[in-house]
Amino acid sequence: MTTALRRLRNYIDGEFRDAADGRTTEVVNPATGEPYATAPLSGAPDVDAAMAAAEAAFPAWRDLIPAERQKVLLKIADRFEERAEELIAAESENCGKPIALVRSEEIPPMVDQIRFFAGAARMLEGRSAGEYMDGFTSIIRREPVGVCAQVAPWNYPMMMAVWKFAPALAAGNAVVIKPSDTTPASTVLIAEIIGGVLDELGHSRGVFNVICGDRETGRLMVEHKVPAMASITGSVRAGMQVAESASKDLKRVHLELGGKAPVVVFEDTDIAKAVEDIATAGYFNAGQDCTAATRVLVQESIHDEFVAALAKAASETKTGAIDDEDVLYGPLNNANQLAQVKGFIERLPAHAKIEAGGEQVGEKGYFFAPTVVSGLKQDDEIVQNEVFGPVITVQSFADEKQAVEWANGVEYALASSVWTKDHARAMRMSKALDFGCVWINTHIPLVAEMPHGGFKKSGYGKDLSAYGFDDYTRIKHVMTSLDG
């Protein structure tokens, strides 16, 4: 007897719809490796319909006074709280994430972030008006850019959807968002919540649309003539493709791509505390985080002690079922990702040593053991490239100069951390590290008020904060004559 698969649908102009040609893809629960739902595999007609709905809804949404858009976002935040258990269930099934951690680590910050951008809606600041030429006054208008095509990733599908739609809607834009083809369930539920709020408060539901599909669907969205801006969180390859596609008609592009965060540990560090925090920041969400603490550089005088402690912490870290409150993380998101992580381990050079883990866990699903690899060199593949799994690498450095050189010696530049009791050293390192974020004696905390975004191949543009809000606006200069 075959269990019927749940049917997910696109959300376009306030209606749930199948793909125009009826095509679907299966959605797999990574904890079991079995499909549990189908989702539309959207094509050009579906993208056209969503863009037309957003384009039609945009003028009225743009022209609302900011306080009215704030009301909508605050109501959305309230609904997220009221329907938290539904969101948790959708995200846990879709991603294999532990229920308790989604409840404690994702729902509260998401709600807070929506409320932050609700407030930002009323802070459309520009430089002061003034006379910069005799007889004329200049003023600055900050306006929404228009329709935004947004592509969210599979590692945090709910939270990354919030990071995209909340600033865009707050600034007065209309949205068409595509979740990853492996994780559409929670975004479809978000569409139901937002659509209900828009309808309740008397606004067009076409302001927010969800299109399910694959890379081709995303390409069609980015290349469509309607959007004024394309925003993606994803791989470097995907970001480059989006930038290239968007360049054809000079769309704005907002890219949050991969990371290879250095974790620089100096000899004066409290080793026990550092290991505890780094293990958590490296293995949380199965290491599927572009800021994860997975590339550790340890001063040579404490290297052996640190590696032994980290291997012990890895052996005590648990992965498993979504309803087990003792687990730190669940499975990798999909079969391809599991194969990628395995490949990095299989291709390790002879001088590398697996101190803990290194293998798949369980007979079903995509679980991988907490892993520590030591003995690595700066040019090793696993040091240079993003694994995106529960694998922490360790290198030994001699001095501060070498630590900076190796920390910066990758193509990514999203996040980093420094572990030391020496304040002056921490300040020198925070200046020298070429990353969009530098944590000191911690790794991975984020707040809505501070920006998140990187340099180099980690992309450009900021999420969260007033900077992230500004990315969804454009600046207009208005000049008026004073002589009547």
- Strand boundaries in 18-69, DSSP class E: 24-29, 34-40
Tell me whether residue 256 is one of the annotated catalytic residues: yes
C-alpha 343, offset from chain centre: 24
Q: How far is CA 152 from CA 160, 215, 231, 235, 257, in A?
A: 6, 11, 8, 11, 11
How many residues comprise the chain? 484
Rg of the chain's alpha carbons, rounded to an integer? 23
> Catalytic pick from 55, 91, 93, 256?
256
> Catalytic pick from 290, 355, 386, 437?
290
Angle 150-95-163 (CA atoms, 0-180°, nearest 5)?
30
Token pair listed for 298: 């340890």
- Please provide residue 331's backbone torsions phi and psi, each rounded to the nearest 5 degrees: -80, 170
- Check if the beta carbon of residue 428 is closer than 8 Å to that of residue 449: no
Token pair listed for 406: 């190796």
- Check if the beta carbon of residue 400 is closer than 8 Å to that of residue 425: yes
With both helix axes pointing from N to C terminus, report the angle between 303-316 and 271-283 in degrees, rounded to the nearest 10. Answer: 50
- Residues 6 or more apart whose CB falls under 8 angstroms from that of 191 comprise 11, 16, 208, 209, 210
Tell me whether residue 290 is one of the annotated catalytic residues: yes
Token pair listed for 276: 């505890």
Q: What is the rounded CA–CA span in Å between residue 28 and residue 332?
A: 12
List, by residue number, the catalytic residues.
256, 290
